Structure 1
């Protein structure tokens, strides 16, 4: 159990930082319990052999695989020795010889299956296949051996650079059964792609396309039917050709050439510089559009020299941002690091603050700023043009070009063009070298963490009884926690209940049982039925001739397909009834999840035909969402809340207002007991595969979140995927108990065990193409479905003690159809079973006499105020437990304030010349702009993660978009207020502005609303784009416009009339307006102005910048208006735009 001090809270992170710092000095404030994950694990894995690793949750299976693959986290303490053919892990590079296949399917959703495998094959290369084949051919020749022609040709083809990728990829696609979806995108939470089973096979395929010879595969069968799993395992046995001997394998493991990366491919070196042609094109387009229109020197030589500088600056910028991303390693920290670097480079680049004005303690920054070299080179290239050098300055001695350069503290030397160009090239090389080193040596910042239950922790601590250290992973055990978990059972003679008991007993005998007493009580049928105590209305669902189409993919049209639509479901008919547990089954890609999405109303695109009714009345989605639950295959939850908080949040939003808060809390606790989450009640949910709950724990949470809504109809998409026998038993007990209360429950499921399969009452079996081949009861020991298929001529009889689910999928496969020369879908349509089902559907499609259609006075269970309170409660905890977001932006703001304060130390007291005023205005402008941009960029990943959760919760009918958006907007205000408070105090004091209450207030006011509207602008960009990467690009496009039209670089009076309209709608322009006028709008101190007599500062800002000193009121109103506008647009777009593609 996670203790409160381990939560990612502000105070905890601060304490951990202090403890870590003291730990480096040898000072330990607290002692921690050492937990043994693996103990005395020994064994041998021989070549050409497959070893099966079994164990219950928290037994260390994944840790052992990572240890064998040489991929353990360096912070873990390891004893013992691992060798490959006698060589220790430090004697070669195991990460290039062995491959660990994760149980988490992490892919780029926009790439197709074939592109994903091709990319993996290209990155991994061919290793030492060519050298080994050469040696093998020599030995065969000496021994007089003549290899088989086809095998020899295959090995030669896969050993040659430039050929292996497509051949190996196509071969892997075929053996993994992915050839049918090779041109389909993988997909993710936001867009529909391949099925879960296919995604699991892609994860496996990514590794086996490479030259690695040792595979450590973590739960590769999750979500796959038995026939597909068997096919994968069978193909894995054949990956290493039998012609390869032990000596060859030994050479391959220890050879340094084994470590060769694909980018070193000498045949195709252009891949190293793949980005350069695009950069050249971008530079040319930019310069053609801007060079002559701005009015730079017209000579062709200067144009091309300018082009070279722009290209080098672009390459340097790309290199520095690559380096920042590799060093920072997370999106939020990288955004902050990038903004901080830009601020440093920008302020010390020699433009805003001339070189001679930079304080001596910051002058080093000028020499390490790439911008200073680029600025010097571009200025020298322009100012040494004849039109500048043929004229004299006002002193009639200095050439005009030199005088201009000297006024900006630029080196007046022609050689500085080449010095700047060489420096930019050097920075580009340096940044890319450091980027490569960072990728090689820096590990991911997030450490995978598992949530350990109290019982498991107790057992681990039991092994350390002699230790005097105080445990930190425990919390006081409450009476509720110490009580036995009571699970409901039904009649002991029920076949399905017997199956559930068998699962319980088998899983309990095969692993650690954390709830032995409650399990025995449930198995003996003596535990009282608990949970699901709130009243509900049992409902049936019937559907007749359901068809579903999507637009034909462009890839298929290119292959000659003439149709405009692709049909995924074909005439599906059936019914789901209260108290009946129905399974949707079929091979991967059969359309199980598609059918469930269509019936549940979760499809966001495509074309649906057919009749769907709820207890005889036409289904209305808004009403249906109130009485149904949907457990998605992908477990989507807010990562920063606890398990119990997730359930409370769902219950308070989805249960009727008539249910009291006390009853809701009791119901939440009962559901937690029902799905056995009580020991994890205070655990942070976390991100999948990174922190927080494990796969099976997240799956149980997904079910519990829907159960607390007290639905009448529940859809579960592969509820047992990723679960071991014990976890599957817990889930199926939960499902069975839910059904026994009279609810309608439908589950899609891949190849289950006998016990899970026989826990279902009815089965709807589908084949590829979205057609039904069986819908009816299973019967005792599945005899109904066995009799149905055995009655088909040519279908083999089931073997004794054989899993009927496995047999059913085998005899109904496409290969079996081809062998028998029949279509099982057509056979089903002509059967008497189909006729009975049609009659049942017709009966359920007619409302019973006196029945009334479902009606709710409001669309949502809670009022708008109730929705807002619940959303604000969750959002508040999410922000409070996101130190990587808030502490990072606080740190950036502090660093930016100190940088501005020290760089522009006491500059506020300098009021002698226009350049002094321009310098301080530039300081205010740059600081607010970069802190605002950082707020914008760091909020985008947070909103993107929560938006995925929002789509799920909105589809479940939990709330409307406006309360959710308002909660997000309000949650930002306190943090921006704190951020602005210390920023303004530091900057105002160090820059030495005039200390008056009014001026300080206006400085604070303008800064606060500027930071706020930048934050809301970042939220808005996420709401109008499909993901936060696109949002970052979209936002960055407007940063340059904000910069250009801010009124600092080009004062408003000098902006062309046809562009001045943009000045008035540019939010940064109003920020600069407010900062300048609030500080200098009433200052009458005269300043020297080049080419003019001395004038008061008030006159200068009014005539040079076009600022009215009496305009602060409207400026304040406009700044507030921008914040409100961006917040409103965020709310409006999150409501109206849906980028989730299902």
Structure 2
């Protein structure tokens, strides 16, 4: 594959660019040369060094009695994930980390990307300098799971990434041109307009999805690219294409590090360097071509019929070797595997000790050898005129791009026929149940008003709960790359939900209000609609806050159910005389304020008389509205309704600020 910085020669605006492979033609796009120029300035040669990297976690274990289910005691144990791992990888090299499952490959890769929580011992340097905020945008990290929006196309995915991650010196057309170039370079032209897809949506293939994930990081032309299991779940041919692509990217001057579980012979031949881990400790770190001679030199000779060196290395990492191995005597490797755990552990310790004795001194000398990076690349770390911590785009651009992306990704959800059917069916059903209710049937009309406040408290609340927990992987990924501010994401995410959150209740109230026979005047109808919409926004804010605080759908849903049940009971409809010691609950219930406002709007004059013969079982007579129990208990005539509006407004801003602070603490 052609690296992004490959020199090109353009004859006309649509002429093919010269390419070292004659069977590939890349068509020039407007301002492409300027794009490449700026991107070349933003990337520099990078040497990654890591020395004696160690990482441990504390595990809390419980000791249980054989005859009892209760905990007898608890103790904190420390588990070592990484133990003294060292290595060097330079610009233009592809380093592969090999090891068994649980050997610490992903942990080490995450540590090299400066994304590992907790304290790491040892030294990790980038061009002999520690990690800094400016370095964050020069590192690309591709996780094992493809974290992509399933309903966006390949072109949309890479275009939005380019808009957010490329320097503000580039115009929109130049950023789109870079996304188009990435698509061609990674061989995604055939599926450029296909949706990415996911677990429940059929989209592009697994190999294409992996290349999209790589392209997402390649947009910024990173100096260091780290990939976690890029061939996981792919067939051998697709895996070879992915690794060949990565090798081509490395040959273009990038530094590449990847983890891989069990590479084939063809894949192994593409690696420049390998690090082999056994239970978190290194047993080899150095050039891939020297790995077999090294193990032969310490007495571990592979079988004569060995084809794939990776199989030999993984067996050694598991402590599996022939019973007796001499350099002049080759035995069948797999037939002589050791069975006992103690023997395997002793083999592992022997390999680790051999590494510390034979390879580590030379490796440490290479790590300590300072490179004059100014002779490698004289360009500066950051483009001229930009501060180190400055974002690639301003706040408003980030908000605008994220809002457009969110609307496009969630259009299937917001405008789904199922959701519209759900609301409209309830709307017509409630309208039929309260069909032209008699104004004298105040209890029935008050019931309809209370239904307004409850339904449009539950519905937006439970929709909003899923917002942040479901987007947590994407938020973690993009925030770790420094793509945008948390505030711009939060505002775009909440603003993107407003269209359907406000359109559906408007249609609902319009249909049910007139079918239910409520006050036919225009002003009460408009005020009722505004109060319901305010209630929707408050309910949505509470849902966002619960989702952001817990970040777990089941827990948030359970807490929301209990909360809404309490709000339902203290709303003022079911219980009109709440005991004083618990009556304070109604003052934290937005349903209570909404219900009181709606009743106050519907019956603004509590001194108005109505025919109460049917309501009280009388033969005739008129009653005062304020004396009706369901209205009297609310105390509408005793205070201004503006206090209820103020309470809802305070909740509206309070819940959303709480949600933002919860997100900020989590990131």
Match of 2:329 in 1: none
Aligned counterparts of 1:993 and 1:560: Cα–Cα separation in 2: 65
Match of 2:514 in 1: 989
Q: Hey, what does 1:1069 align to over in structure 2? A: 592
- For structure 2, which runs of at least 5 residues remain unmatched after alignment? 7-15, 65-70, 322-337
In structure 2, which of residues 426, 429, 436 is the aligned counterpart of residue 899 of structure 1? 429
- Length, aligned pairs only: 608
Asked whether 1:545 is paired with 2:52, we answer: yes
Deviation at 1:733, TM superposition (A): 2.8
Structure 1 equivalent of residue 297 of structure 2: 791
Matched, 1:957 2:482: yes
Residues 1:610 and 2:122 are matched in the alignment: yes
Is the counterpart of residue 1121 in structure 1 residue 650 in structure 2? Answer: yes
2:605 aligned counterpart, secondary structure:
coil
**What is the aligned partner in structure 1 of residue 131 from structure 2?**
619
Match of 1:773 among 280, 283, 289: 283
C-alpha distance 571-556 of structure 1, shift in aligned 2 (>3 A): farther
2:582 to 1059, 1062, 1065: 1059
| Contact 1:593/1:748 (<8 A) preserved | yes
Judged with a 3 Å threshold, the aligned counterparts in structure 2 of structure 1 residues 747 and 525 are, in CA distance, closer, same or farther, namely farther
Give the superposition deviation at 1:1112: 3.3
Are positions 1:839 and 2:365 aligned together? Answer: yes
The reply to whether residue 1137 of structure 1 matches residue 666 of structure 2 is yes
Structure 2 distance, partners of 1:597, 1:866, is 30
The unaligned stretches of length 5 or more in structure 1 are 1-485, 492-517
Give the Å deviation of 1:634.
0.9
- The CA distance in 1 between the partners of 2:316 and 2:389, in whole Å, is 50
Match of 1:698 in 2: 209
The structure where strand makes up a greater share of residues is: 2
Distance 1:538 1:1080, change over 3 A: same
The residue number in structure 2 matching 1:594 is 107
- In 1, Cα distance between equivalents of 2:26 and 2:426: 62
Match of 1:729 in 2: 240
Tell me if 1:888 matches 2:418.
yes
Compute the displacement of 1:690 (Å).
4.6
Q: In the alignment, is the contact (CA less than 8 A) between 1:965 and 1:1130 conserved in 2? A: no
**TM-fit CA distance, 1:860:** 2.8
Alignment partner, residue 392 of structure 2: 861
Q: What is the match of residue 439 of structure 2? A: 910
RMSD: 3.2
CA contact under 8 A between 1:550 and 1:607: conserved in structure 2?
no
Offset at residue 551 of structure 1 (A): 1.2
Superposed displacement of residue 697, structure 1: 2.3
Q: Could you list the per-position Cα deviations for residues 756-783 of structure 1 after superposition, in whole angstroms to 9, with x for gaps in the alignment?
A: 1111111111112x1111111123xxxx
- Is 1:924 aligned to 2:449, yes or no? yes
Query: Are residue 1012 (structure 1) and residue 537 (structure 2) matched?
Result: yes
Conserved? CA contact 1:762–1:778, under 8 Å: yes
CA apart distance, 1:888: 2.9
Q: CA deviation at 1:788?
A: 0.5
Q: Is the 8 A contact 1:897 1:927 kept in 2?
A: no
One of 115, 121, 139 as aligned partner of 1:628: 139
> For the residues of structure 2 that align with 1:490 and 1:860, how far apart are their CA atoms?
23
Counterparts of 2:139 and 2:251 in 1: how far apart (Å)? 17
**1:806 — aligned with what?**
311
**Whole-Å Cα distance in 1 between the matches of residues 5 and 169 of structure 2?**
30
Give the Cα–Cα distance (whole angstroms) in 1 for the partners of residues 151 and 583 of structure 2.
45
- Deviation digits for residues 1039-1083 of structure 1, max 9, x if unmatched? 1111121122223xx333333332222100111011100111226
Distance in 2 (CA, whole Å) between partners of 1:528 and 1:612 is 38
Deviation at 1:675, TM superposition (A): 1.4
C-alpha spacing 1:525/1:739, structure 2 compared with 1 (3 Å): farther
Q: 1:723 to 1:786 in 2, by over 3 A?
A: same
CA displacement 1:930-958 (0-9 Å, x = unmatched): 24312222343454322221121112211
Tell me the alpha carbon deviations over residues 271-328 of structure 1, each in whole angstroms, 9 at most, x when there is no partner.
xxxxxxxxxxxxxxxxxxxxxxxxxxxxxxxxxxxxxxxxxxxxxxxxxxxxxxxxxx
Out of 403, 407, 410, which is 1:876 matched to?
407
Cα deviation, residue 682, structure 1 = 1.6
Counterparts of 1:875 and 1:695, CA distance in 2: 24
The answer to whether the 8 A contact 1:487-1:528 is kept is no
| Contact 1:617 1:846 (C-alpha < 8 Å) held by counterparts | no
Q: Does the 8 Å CA contact 2:458/2:539 hold for their aligned counterparts?
A: yes
For residues 982 and 1091 of structure 1, do their structure 2 counterparts lie closer, same or farther at Cα, with a shift above 3 Å needed?
A: closer
TM value normalised by structure 2:
0.84
The one-character-per-residue Cα deviations of 1:23-42 (angstroms, maximum 9, x if unpaired) are xxxxxxxxxxxxxxxxxxxx
User: What CA distance in whole angstroms lies between the structure 2 residues aligned with 1:867 and 1:1082?
Assistant: 49
1:1024 to 529, 538, 549: 549
TM-score (norm 1): 0.50
Distance 2:243 2:25 in 1: 17
Does the 8 A contact of 1:889 with 1:934 survive in 2? no
CA contact (8 A) 2:548 2:663 kept: yes
